[in-house]
Amino acid sequence: MSELPFTYEEFSEWFDIHAGRYLTPAKDSASKALSVHLDAELPEIERVRVKVSSGRVKGKERTWKKLELEKYRNKISSLEEIPNIIDDLVGLRVTCNNKSDVQRVVDIVTALKIFQSGQEPVLEQQEGSLRDYLGQPKASGYRAVHINLCTSVPAGLKWKVVTCELQIRTLLQDGWGELTHEDTYKPGSTPPALVETLSRRMADLLAAVDDIAQDLRQELDRLSTKDIETSVTSLPATSVSITANVNEATFQPAIRDAASEYLRNRVTQLQRPMDLASLAWELSRKFGQEVSQGWFGLGNFKSFLKESIPNVRLTDEPPSYVLPGDYQSHTTAKASSPPGIPAAAMLLRDLDRSFPLLDSVHLNAAYRQLAEASQAINWADETTNDIGRINEMTRRARELNSEDAAVSRTHFDYMAKSLLFSGNLGRPLVAEEVKKIYSAWTVKRLLSVSSPSNRQITAVKKWLS
């Protein structure tokens, strides 16, 4: 059996210097950059469900034990090679409320630029480093998604690139790790048989609870969407009864007036468009969840917003956005757009950061895969709501991804929701139908935001077809 080409004393001295100069600064830099990136990519209503840890630097003793494992020991010829062999010397963690939040973060992170040798990245992903232990749990029951990120820290007059392992998991998955001390047992060590058995049982039980939590989240999302934009006359009887029985405190003039004043001040301060769901959530957080139970007798948030601010600027097509009073979306079209994307499409991207800017190859792949996914759904199943069907379509569509034209879950989700908001979610579709529906809905959204010329509309239609 071969031995490491250096002693523990030599390693210890090297590690102390390397950790102080590079690993700790990289941990701090990458954690901050990741938080800033998620702040920019996620609306506040989603961002609060995602927590970024301060990170950790792997301990000296644990690193040494890992180096002694045969799979690593045989690859190392010098101390300087350690960071190239051990990719989790710096660890970051993102903890999410639900599995759908995990996937949202995964989509955002995997959309980062791929690191190329010779660059000095602030935050980029390492190509081919994604490991999905959520879809394929470890034997211990461990569930999470791992991906390596690269950041750079000062090294004299140059910059040194450091790799950080990012773990993305749910609150329950994170709780399992804390309860079982999963990190205590690493490759090369074997936990007692009873510990293994109980850990797996706990992991399976928590995974089942995660599924229930996800179903609950989907139902709450459905009710939230309905209560934000749907008029009370079109709601089912059960929803009207909820409004009728709302706590009387909700209708106190002082609370109503204060909520209206808050909305007026908030909209006046807007620097960019804001979706109604986020604004409604913000108001509920400020004045209590009970204000959303009927929205002061008006049935939905949009009606209360219009009553509070009669001249408020809203987009017509759902999901609706509030526009700042001086918002001039046509100026955004002058910004440079990605190759193959018409400049007018940037109007919608400015409104909604999740709007897909896909080239024709990926767009047509998305049409085909969403159509095929729709044909696999049991539309007669009345136990599944619209949000559940969208999630099922998105999941099935992603399973059909090819390496040369892979579409992210976020983009599938956006396009699938166009079927819901346009009234076309409810039956199997073919690719040509998905294309026509999505194209028509996108143009309608564009017209609700701006006044594009006929030439611009033609360019958008051509791009989407």
Q: List the domains of the chain with CATH numbers.
A: 8-171 (3.30.460.10), 233-323 (no CATH), 329-464 (no CATH)
- Average pLDDT (120-131) is 94
What is the percent of the chain with per-residue pLDDT over 90, rounded to a whole number?
45
pTM over 0.85: no
Question: Apex CA 47: angle with CA 335 and CA 53, to 5°?
Answer: 115
Model confidence pLDDT, tens digit, residues 244-264 = 444 444 457 889 999 999 999
**What's the chain's average pLDDT?**
85
CB 94 within 8 A of CB 59: no
Q: How confident is the model at residue 330 (pLDDT cuts 50, 70, 90)?
A: very low
- Average pLDDT of the residues in 133-141: 88
Q: So what's the pLDDT on residue 299? A: 86
- What pLDDT is stored for residue 82 in this prediction? 94
| Residue tagged 């047992």 (tokens) | 185
244: how many CB neighbours lie within 10 A of its CB?
10
Q: How confident is the model at residue 267 (pLDDT cuts 50, 70, 90)?
A: very high
Residue 233 has pLDDT above 80, yes or no: no
CA distance 79 to 54: 27
- Please write the tens of the pLDDT for every residue from 3-19: 889 999 999 999 999 99
For residue 331, is pLDDT > 50? no
Query: Cα–Cα distance between 340 and 358 in angstroms, integer?
Result: 9
* Statement: residue 207 has pLDDT above 70: yes
Residues 73-92: what's their mean pLDDT?
92
Q: What is the rounded end-to-end Cα distance, in angstroms, of the chain?
A: 62
Distance CA 108, CA 130 (A): 13
The residue-averaged pLDDT of 389-394 equals: 86
- 393 neighbors 420 (Cβ within 8 angstroms): no
Reported residue count of the chain is 465
